[in-house]
Amino acid sequence: MPDSSQRPPRLILASSSPYRRELLERLRAPFDVAVPAVDETPLTGESPEATALRLAQAKARAVAAGLSGGERALVIGSDQVATYDGQQIGKPGTHEKALAQLQDMRGREVLFHSGLCLLDSHSGDAQCVDVVTRVRFRNLPDAALDAYLRTETPYDCAGSAKAEGLGIALLDAIESDDPTALIGLPLIALTRMLLAAGYPLLEAR
């Protein structure tokens, strides 16, 4: 039997998001999914960056707290906050709220803060980063926005548009150092963290 001390640490994605799960699968490393119980309400006066980072770390720590003490795990927490004109934009939840979001954002630049945290369950050490994506929305008429929403129903996405799908047609430009950050999980930042934590991402497993 292989020595358990030589095995890679267990990877756990602390998220209910199917988008983050699909992105993490690109790394071809085995992982588990655990849904953290975290209140995602922003704190009074909290900046979008601070909200994204706080919630990413809170999600990772909530899942790590439920693990048994024997096994080392690397827990991935992530959260995304969209903002323009100093106000935070959450997940719309309904068609009416999503349409109102898209109407407000058309022709504007919106910043998406993707908070990412990799937590070592043994040491408690956390690597955290905020990856910022600048998105410029096209100035489209109400009918086009309504048709998009009814086609893709992106009511669980901050900003009401899925850039990995038809929502790309609503966008005029995307600027980011990490191309998957807008979808929900910055993979360039995550792979940097995994390698720093000693995870054998590019070795035979």
Contact in structure between 27 and 5 (CB atoms under 8 Å): no
d(CA 10, CA 119): 12
Report the Cα–Cα distance between both ends of the chain, in Å, rounded. Answer: 15
DSSP letters spanning 44-68 = TT--HHHHHHHHHHHHHHHHHHTS-
Contact in structure between 98 and 154 (CB atoms under 8 Å): yes
Own/partner contacts of 84-90, CB < 8 Å, gap of 24 or more, are 84/108, 84/109, 84/110, 84/111, 88/42, 88/48, 88/51, 89/158, 89/159, 90/40, 90/158
Of 3, 79, 142, 156, which is the active-site residue?
A: 79
Task: Assess whether 79 carries a catalytic annotation.
Answer: yes
Task: Please return the burial class of 1, using the count of CB atoms within 10 Å of its CB with bins 0-12, 13-18 and 19+.
Answer: exposed
Q: How far is CA 37 from the centre of its chain?
A: 16
Pairing of the two strands 126-137 and 171-175: antiparallel
> Which active-site residues does the annotation give?
79
